[in-house]
Structure 1
Amino acid sequence: MPEVTENVRPPNVPAVAAVAAVGAAVRAGVESVVVGAGRSLRLTLAALLAGGHVLLEDVPGLGKTLLASSLAQTLGLDFRRLQCTPDLLPADITGSSLFDPTTREFVFRPGPIFTGLLLADEINRTPPKTQSALLEAMQERQVTVEGTTMRLTRPFHVLATANPVEYEGTYPLPEAQLDRFLLRLDVGYPTAEQETEVLRRRLARRQEETTLPAVVGAEEFTAMQAGVETVDVDSDVLRYCVELASATRTHPAVEVGASPRGALALVLVARALAVLDGRTFVLPEDVKECAVAALAHRITLRPETWTTGVTGVEVVAELLTSVPGPATGRQGTRRS
């Protein structure tokens, strides 16, 4: 019996090579305005191809909003920005029914969640009741307003930003909502050369706003996501994903480890990374590349670890060295 049967590509689903070419064009377009975001851009694009949502957690001023808007432009997706504030209400996200005096009827006014790519800026500044309004939408791709359930457009993705440094006036994301994010990423400070290039580009375009041409449209991007579903994953790679997720539950510094959703996140993102590299199969290196971003936010550390400064990122990085990876006979080439 074969370990995993090879998926047959349905009609109207682009080949992996075509998806990889479009992915390279999208990255090139975004990198023309966003400097130094190579790793976070690659993983964010992989998460979107896998159908997931991304939490960008870093200090202000590193281009998180620019990254999100640039991705939306190059992918041809409708883009809405939601500025999260302490007084934001759930109806401000989902929409509400308003009375129209001309027709003497209540008319539903959709909120910003009815879009292709929603940027929830500073999501940890809005209270948990409002944060929970995103839960149903992120998992079920639908919202319920006044007892009526409405489907969201496809594709639908949430890119949320959060400032991990400030604590006053913020509300930590509950574990249930953190688990809805396929990846949690940090952008990181640019190098001196990259920061100089940021200044050069801003002076050269003589304006703050940037406009990028669409590489694909929403329908084409949905077809690209279907192409990711045709990628093979051998049983030894599946087992490796399960072992990594299971190891987070037995680590001495961890109180609550990653759920099976964490192992699934590894598989989904690893497939998308393989597609971006033009491969129809997943290598263990694909899993290792996304492991920290897929698992670190899904584990809860023991309270006493604050004295040692251990973080979830360090725990997952340690597990990548201690959990043996599978040997694979397939060879693939990694694109930069």
Structure 2
Amino acid sequence: MENIHALIENVERVIVGKRPVIELACVAILCKGHILLEDVPGTGKTMLARALARSIRVDMKRLQCTPDLLPSDITGVAVYNQKTADFEFRPGPVFTQLLLADEINRATPRAQSALLECMEEFHVSVDGQSYELPKLFTVMATQNPIDMAGTHALPEAQLDRFFIRLHMGYPNLDQEIKILAAQAQTHPIETLQPVTSEAQILAARAEVKNVYISPDVAAYIVGIGAASRKHANLRLG
């Protein structure tokens, strides 16, 4: 797992003072999970995604969610080719290793639901055809807790597709001074070099599956989930 420690430290060159957030984002990736970043603008949500993609040397695509976004704008669409007299599938932005869905709550529920199959099944179905997504496919979606006019709250089914919800938070004064100094000539993201690869991350995922969990710990985990379903103060466990 040395490459994972190198990945965290590399991303920390860009995202200053947020090591716990970076670590949890890496945990989600290793567990084949998706990440929901909730915070105000300017806290580094987009930059975190860019830094992770550069550090792993994988493709990243950004999906700007707006009310006029269509499901086909996300998954792709079949287009008629006059030369071949047949329909050809043109992949959407989900066909990438890291998808940044910016301000996901500004998309309509119809567009949001287009991500459900992708995030759960890791494939896309268009016109009866199924297309596999990259093995490292990970969604990092962002939400702003302010300016909620014209937004659509994510339903429980959509929230369930995310492995973890993270809050970036503002840096402290010392960290902000360090950020200013680091960007005096150029932004650190421009000189960030890869420290691991997609193959190494996939190998680390396989190692995670071999981590031993004692029966007592497993029972404790299951017990917490079961207790939440019966708690009087919780609507949904």
Same fold (TM over 0.5): yes
Larger Cα-atom Rg: 1
Counterpart CA distance in 2 for 1:39 and 1:235 is 28
1:248 aligns with 2:228: yes
Counterpart CA distance in 2 for 1:172 and 1:24 is 35
Native 8 Å contact 1:73 1:211 kept in 2: no
Give the letter for the 1:52 counterpart. Answer: G
Shift of 1:246: 2.2
TM-score norm. by structure 2 comes to: 0.95
Q: 1:237 is matched with which residue: 196, 209, 217?
A: 217
Between the two proteins, the alignment pairs up a number of residues equal to 237
Structure with more relative contact order (C-alpha pairs < 8 Å, separation 6 or more)? 2
In structure 1, what is the equivalent of residue 102 of structure 2? 121
1:64 aligns with 2:39: no
Counterpart CA distance in 1 for 2:191 and 2:30 is 22
- 1:165 aligned counterpart, secondary structure: coil
1:223 aligns with 2:197: no
Give the letter for the 2:228 counterpart. Answer: T
Native 8 Å contact 1:74 1:215 kept in 2: yes
In structure 2, what is the equivalent of residue 45 of structure 1? 26
In structure 2, what is the equivalent of residue 31 of structure 1? 12
- 1:204 aligned counterpart, secondary structure: coil
Give the letter for the 1:110 counterpart. Answer: P
In structure 2, what is the equivalent of residue 107 of structure 1? 88
Instruction: Name whichever of 131-140 and 143-152 sits farther off.
Output: 143-152
Give the letter for the 1:137 counterpart. Answer: C
Counterpart CA distance in 1 for 2:29 and 2:6 is 15
- 1:112 aligned counterpart, secondary structure: coil
State percent identity of aligned pairs.
47
Instruction: Name whichever of 178-187 and 247-256 sits farther off.
Output: 247-256
Native 8 Å contact 2:15 2:48 kept in 1: yes
Shift of 1:211: 4.1
Deviations 1:112-146 (A, max 9, x none): 00011111111000011000001001111111111
Q: Map 1:1-16; keep pairs closer than 5 Å.
A: none
- 1:85 aligned counterpart, secondary structure: coil
Q: 1:177 is matched with which residue: 158, 166, 171?
A: 158
Query: What stretches of structure 1 move > 4 A for 4+ residues in a row?
Result: none
Structure 1: unaligned runs, 5 residues or longer:
1-18, 258-336
Give the letter for the 2:99 counterpart. Answer: L
- 1:190 aligned counterpart, secondary structure: coil
Across the aligned residues of Structure 1 and Structure 2, the Cα RMSD in angstroms comes to 1.4
Counterpart CA distance in 1 for 2:40 and 2:190 is 22
Counterpart CA distance in 1 for 2:3 and 2:188 is 27
Shift of 1:204: 3.4
Q: Map 1:120-269; keep pairs closer than 5 Å.
A: 120-205=101-186, 207=187, 210-257=190-237
Instruction: Name whichever of 99-108 and 69-78 sits farther off.
Output: 99-108
Deviations 1:1-49 (A, max 9, x none): xxxxxxxxxxxxxxxxxx1x11110011101111121111110101100
Shift of 1:95: 0.5
Structure 2: unaligned runs, 5 residues or longer:
none
